[in-house]
Amino acid sequence: MARTASPRRKALVTAVAWAIGFAIFFPILWTILTSFKSEGDAIASPPKFLFFDWTLENYQTVQERSNYLRHFWNSVVISFGSTLCALGIAIPAAWAMAFVPGKWTKDILMWMLSTKMMPAVGVLVPIYLIFRDTGLLDTRTGLVIVLTLMNLPIVVWMLYTYFKEIPGEILEAARMDGAGLRAEILYVLTPMAIPGIASTLLLNVILAWNEAFWTLNLTAAKAAPLTAFIASYSSPEGLFYAKLSAASTMAIAPILILGWFSQKQLVRGLTFGAVK
């Protein structure tokens, strides 16, 4: 039987939920609003919410001062590149761990996860030195490698969980039906795992897009993605809130739009197998 709630209670709970949602969203909204203010309005006290002179001048300045498109392209290459590399390694790995588990499978999974428990800064010096000596500093290749490795444990874990949801008997049925390993993965496993693979891909692209520690520390000018582009507005000549906000808005807009269009897929993937 469905649980019933009085309309008043429902309205109250809805209002509270909206309030919390708005509070969480507010900083982003404020950033976007600030990007349309003049520097004066941006630091005005009391703050101006909606009634100020809307201007696009910050966007113009940001465009003139830095090459947005280059940073954007770096971000695309680094986030999609590292995600595709990670998937390429993780799909076979997760397949093996989910369907042909060995004695150590559980331990290997835990060990992989444990690498995420170490703060990244703990290995900054060795990685920086390796990158310097191999000429990978400030290259997109270098960042693709480091982000692939950083996110690999999460990608393997997510895919492992999705693959585990696929009943082994279906793969066995494919084998009985005469499918070899290639046909089994191509015609049976992959189509069934597509929601899981897609949501892993999206989540990982978002993680890689927003990754700031390694992108800031291992790049200078050539390979710097949008995170570095934002950071470049935060310090040199003091804080310019409006310009910083414009840069931030431009940096998060693409991923926000991607997230918006793929939210159905993302939610479906994240709750995949929750209800059978």
Partner 1 sequence: MGQIELKGVTKRFGDAEVIPPLDLSIAEGEFVVFVGPSGCGKSTLLRLIAGLEDTTAGVIEIDGHDATDLPPAKRRLAMVFQSYALYPHMSVARNIAFPLKMAGLARAEIERKVKAAADVLNLTAYLDRKPGQLSGGQRQRVAIGRAIVREPKAFLFDEPLSNLDAALRVNMRLEISELHQSLKTTMVYVTHDQVEAMTMADKIVVLQAGRIEQVGSPMQLYRSPANLFVAGFIGSPRMNFITGAEAAKHQATTIGIRPEHLSVSRDAGLWQGRVGVAEHLGSDTFLHVATDHGTLNLRTGGEVALHHGDTVWLTPDLAQLHRFDAEGKAIQ
Instruction: Return the sign of the alpha-carbon dihedral for residues 161, 162, 167, 173.
Output: negative
The amino acid that residue 74 corresponds to is: N
Stretch that binds partner 1, among 146-154, 170-178, 196-204, 232-240 (CB under 8 A): 170-178
Instruction: Return the sign of the alpha-carbon dihedral for residues 162, 168, 174, 179.
Output: positive
Which is nearer to partner 1, 187 or 261 (by Cβ)? 187
CB of 70 to partner 1, least distance (A): 41
In this structure, what token pair is assigned to residue 154?
């999460």
Stretch that binds partner 1, among 29-37, 155-163, 171-179, 219-227 (CB under 8 A): 171-179
In this structure, what token pair is assigned to residue 174?
């494919």
* 3 vs 57: CA distance, rounded Å: 54
CB of 92 to partner 1, least distance (A): 19
Which member of 40, 92, 135, 167 binds partner 1 (CB under 8 A)? 167
Q: What phi and psi, each to the nearest 5 degrees, are found at residue 196?
A: -65, -45
Alpha helices in 166-211 (DSSP H): 168-176, 181-183, 190-210
CB of 11 to partner 1, least distance (A): 37
CB of 1 to partner 1, least distance (A): 25
Sites for partner 1 among residues 184-203 (CB under 8 A): 187-188, 191-192
Which member of 77, 179, 198, 216 binds partner 1 (CB under 8 A)? 179
Residue 263: enclosing H or E segment and its boundaries? helix 263-270
Query: Cβ(128)–Cβ(218) under 8 Å?
Result: yes
CB of 91 to partner 1, least distance (A): 17
Which is nearer to partner 1, 191 or 236 (by Cβ)? 191
Which residues here bind partner 1, judged by CB under 8 A? 167, 169-170, 172-180, 183, 187-188, 191-192
